[in-house]
Structure 1
């Protein structure tokens, strides 16, 4: 029984060995290895990406800031004395010239004082002339003449004071400009400091904005700035005419003012402006789209395509704009920069570029 069992086991082992030998000769196991290798190759299939061919071009280092349009000159018209308005001599929203009479306030009492002073002045002048004549003939003393002269000077000073008070009852335009909406009516009683209307000169206008402290030395008188306002399409150019001589300790910024002709009065004071100021311009700069730049510890890297495979490049960056970054080291003109699939690509991975463009500068 034991011998029979041993013989059966031996036969099974021999058959198994023969099966393995035949399978190896037939390539059964090599087929499985090929399938495994094919699976590995499939995991290394080319990644579909887009790319651009880099070319040098112009790049401006631009800072942006929020600005405000200011009137060239603006003043609230108000009375210097209390009184009733006797006449309003302007229409709302119209242009006036410097010196035009705009408002008169009741001055009847002052005019009466002026007439009284006129009579007193005439009498004082006659008295001084008579005493001067007598003094020349030594008919009166010097003291008598001095009293007559003092009386004349006093009356003249009173006349000048009354005239000054009368001038305060008249409001005139201090400069050429446009009258806004009036806040009073004819016959209203006004007090000192009460706003009657606003006079504004809008040609030219001023552009006020701030620049960070580190750029304050780059802004000089005569520099040109670009700005945009919501009420008008396009970009406008203003010229810097003054800067604040100090840095604001709260904002760490310097205030700057520029002027814009505004010859058509199309920009109104108080409008918001988006300001762009060019610090410097580079003629042959290599730039890459911001989305192609990969930050890493201690710097940045990008991927380029070389001979159908991705190649990592460590780069140094310079000027940044809203959508591009200057590369100062690590890339050259003519390099093919991978711009999509950044998260999946790896160094040495096969890539298939389905869309390639030449960088426009």
Structure 2
């Protein structure tokens, strides 16, 4: 007897065939989707690499640079006097115009001599007469023909005559109004024909060499400034005055609580007048600083001046900086660490925290040694 034969129902075998087909389809589709995901992921990675910006960086170190205090003041004359007549009379000659440079002893104007020449001759004659009288009295006194009282009287009369002669000579000297020192005739208030008396103002003379720059220093900085300290002033944004501090106030102004100081500098041709606004620069110690090109300075979103650098992870960092000094060779700044990778090209295209590809380059600064000498 043979084994019984079993056969699947016709409908059931159809279902199995359909199931196998579905499984195959799902397997094929899963391979397609996986390939697409891999391609998409690779595409994103490539795009990200392409979006990383290259920037040029310069590896720099901080240098010791003089700490500079900047003050604002103004120029003034070293001396200024109001010249006055020292005798009485009419102005007969004016030799110097307003604004002219004069030397000490130059005659500004002359007063009429009037009878001064005759008075001089009379005074000289009287001195000679009194001298002869005194000599005669002295000889008689030695022979006891005259008393010591008479000799003393003759001596007093001689001295009085000599004093009168000296007085008229001084008065004659005062008829020539002369400059007491080298300077510029700032003003002249007399003309030929004017009558002056002793004390009448005739001119104003100012001494502009040396020129003086005055400024006020805060309480925080006054102890850093000493007499004789070198300093520099700039006027008209171009004219430079190099000199020394000649005066430092020992007491502050009761209102402003600041201290007055004065710089003295050469002004040989009186080219720099009094009353100009000046910027005064004083070096007071040193600090770690960088010399950079002004073109790499940038502003933060809040308007803060700074420098963009690249950290060890190649990410952009914004560093607020302080401007210390502007020179012909660049700008001295502080606020960066001892060493820094400063972005010198492309800083305008990157933001803080952004990853970048740094490309090494030489420092974008001119002559560092020359700038340090300034």
Normalising TM by the smaller chain, what interval? Answer: 0.5 to 0.7
SS in 2 for 1:213: coil
Query: Partners of 1:102 and 1:312 in 2: how far apart?
Result: 69
> Normalised by the size of structure 1, how large is the TM-score?
0.66
Task: Give how far 1:335 is off.
Answer: 6.0
Question: What whole-Å deviation, never above 9, does each CA across 1:308-353 have from its counterpart, x for those lacking one?
Answer: x74669x897885577642365x633365995589x755xx55688
- Asked whether the equivalents of residues 318 and 328 of structure 1 are also in contact (C-alpha less than 8 Å), the reply is no
Instruction: Rate the CA distance shift 1:114–1:275 in 2: closer, same or farther, 3 A.
Output: same
In structure 2, the residue matched to 1:153 is 159
Task: Give how far 1:188 is off.
Answer: 0.7
SS in 2 for 1:90: coil
SS in 1 for 2:220: helix
CA RMSD of aligned residues (A): 4.8
Question: What whole-Å deviation, never above 9, does each CA across 1:93-136 have from its counterpart, x for those lacking one?
Answer: 54443223332223425445444433433332222222112111
What are the residue-to-residue correspondences of 1:197-208 with 2, within 5 Å?
197-208=203-214
- Asked whether the equivalents of residues 208 and 258 of structure 1 are also in contact (C-alpha less than 8 Å), the reply is no
Task: Give how far 1:88 is off.
Answer: 2.0
SS in 1 for 2:93: strand
In structure 1, the residue matched to 2:280 is 275
Match of 1:242 among 242, 246, 259: 246
Aligned length: 327
Unmatched tracts of structure 2, length 5 or more: 1-25, 41-46, 369-374
Task: Give how far 1:201 is off.
Answer: 4.2
What are the residue-to-residue correspondences of 1:289-308 with 2, within 5 Å?
291=298, 304=310, 307=313
Task: Give how far 1:161 is off.
Answer: 2.8
Is 2:336 the partner of 1:332? no
Query: Partners of 2:223 and 2:90 in 1: how far apart?
Result: 54
Question: What whole-Å deviation, never above 9, does each CA across 1:115-164 have from its counterpart, x for those lacking one?
Answer: 44334333322222221121111112222222222222222223223333
SS in 1 for 2:234: strand
What are the residue-to-residue correspondences of 1:176-215 with 2, within 5 Å?
176-215=182-221
Task: Give how far 1:185 is off.
Answer: 0.9
Question: What whole-Å deviation, never above 9, does each CA across 1:277-296 have from its counterpart, x for those lacking one?
Answer: 222345x635797756799x
> Normalised by the size of structure 2, how large is the TM-score?
0.64
Q: RCO higher in 1 or 2 (8 Å CA, sep ≥ 6)?
A: 1
Query: Partners of 1:241 and 1:108 in 2: how far apart?
Result: 50
Instruction: Rate the CA distance shift 1:50–1:211 in 2: closer, same or farther, 3 A.
Output: farther
What are the residue-to-residue correspondences of 1:85-234 with 2, within 5 Å?
85-230=91-236, 233=238
Query: Partners of 1:89 and 1:104 in 2: how far apart?
Result: 8
- Asked whether the equivalents of residues 290 and 332 of structure 2 are also in contact (C-alpha less than 8 Å), the reply is no
Instruction: Rate the CA distance shift 1:325–1:167 in 2: closer, same or farther, 3 A.
Output: same
Task: Give how far 1:211 is off.
Answer: 3.5
- Asked whether the equivalents of residues 55 and 334 of structure 1 are also in contact (C-alpha less than 8 Å), the reply is yes
Question: What whole-Å deviation, never above 9, does each CA across 1:145-196 have from its counterpart, x for those lacking one?
Answer: 2222222222222322333333333312222344455332111123444442
Instruction: Rate the CA distance shift 1:334–1:291 in 2: closer, same or farther, 3 A.
Output: closer
Task: Give how far 1:203 is off.
Answer: 4.2
